[in-house]
Structure 1
Amino acid sequence: MVATVHIIIAASSMLSLANASPSRTPLETRAVAYKNYKGDGTVGDGWPDLSDWADFETLWSTNIATSAGACKSLSLEPNSDSENTVLKAAIKQAGTDSGLDPRFILAAVFQESTGCVRVKTSYSSNENIRNPGLLQCDDGEHTCNDEKKGISQLVPCPDAQIKGMITDGVGLTTGWGLKQVVKQSGASDVSKYYKGALLYNSGVMPEDGNLGKGRSNACYSSDIANRVMGWVDDQSPCNRDTIGDL
């Protein structure tokens, strides 16, 4: 479907931008070392259960502590304290409204945009597909940085735009977002989040269910699993060529 193709572009383009930037997290501040999660996203295949995830406040504090440096490395004005307050509340509210674990939403936000409220809107190479906002979602309405639409790093980023970027990406104000891909995964256990992450990034589940074979970023689901465990960085050490090997 068309929306699925948009999501593929969204996730891959912003990650390319983020991965091109210098690492922002000194080793001593990383709460958790990166682990390569392989297989189908189930606990039986070694993926972390919900009870293993770090709590929301820990995830927020460890990620937001490094966000300013990440924004600067992307030539973006860092979030203000008031913008961060709005962002945090928006993530939690979206979790309540969508039925998704807010920790999953938080992980996706930092995976897609390093949490920078003025993250640039990304476009496909032919500029027909637009992916704005903190979750680089499918043609969302909200953004604080879209030069092609005449919006250049709004400072401050209005509260309504921050909240809208989250609701757009979660799928509360768009037809295709985190809520929809988690449902599409068809799973009822924790693997719904890891499978949903792959669908958000790639749009299509590999036939054998191996999440390390995602067609856009093969490391995406493993990255999300590490983020909910407390790993923090803007450069993943995951090898996209080998993460699908079992």
Structure 2
Amino acid sequence: MKITAFGIIIVALLLCLNFAHAETQVGINVGQWMKYELAVSGNAPPSDMPSWVKAECTSISGTTVSFSMTMHMSDGTEQMTMWTIDVASGSGNASFQIIIPANSITGDTIQLVTNDSVTIAGEAVGTYAGASRTYVYATQTAEDRQITYRWDKQTGILLEVSLTQGSTSLAYKATNTNIWQASSSNPFSMPSLPIEILSIGVSVAMAMAIVAIAVIYTKHKRGKN
């Protein structure tokens, strides 16, 4: 069976795109961290709730991510614990869904560490940790309480989780991070490109290189004939 150069190019391009997609499932790196601060309206929160939480990625194995969690209590003491979560299956010991697959889109089903699942309802733009970020969101309702999640679309990291129950509402919101830089007023600063755009760019460049090689090979073969 004769395989054409065009067929080889198509197969190579598909492989490149699949590889790029697999590489973006976990959107953060070891050493990156996010700090969340507590905001409350209504009744005072329980005294055992941290006033702020810092989550630092310590290891990544496949789709499983481990975090070192530092919890600063209202009395000034700090507690540390380790969380592990699989972004694909949702399994782990995390108290809430601190990360999901990178580049999740509306309609995707997210498996939660609570053995439940939510569906991404949409996406929007908001300011988190000093920068404008596109996020995806989902809501979980159980009895008289509602939990709303907002995850950064590009990285999958949690930006905000809020709980509303009766007249009380509390939320942990991302206020500081080393995953991205806070917005700058410098007019000459270059905007960061989403991972998916960079991946597609690399794939297209590789496909163009394959096309060029195929053309050169064809001309060389004809020259011999």
TM-score by length of 1: 0.26
**Counting strand residues as a fraction of each chain, which structure ranks higher?**
2
Larger radius of gyration: 2
More helix by share: 1
TM-score (norm 2): 0.28
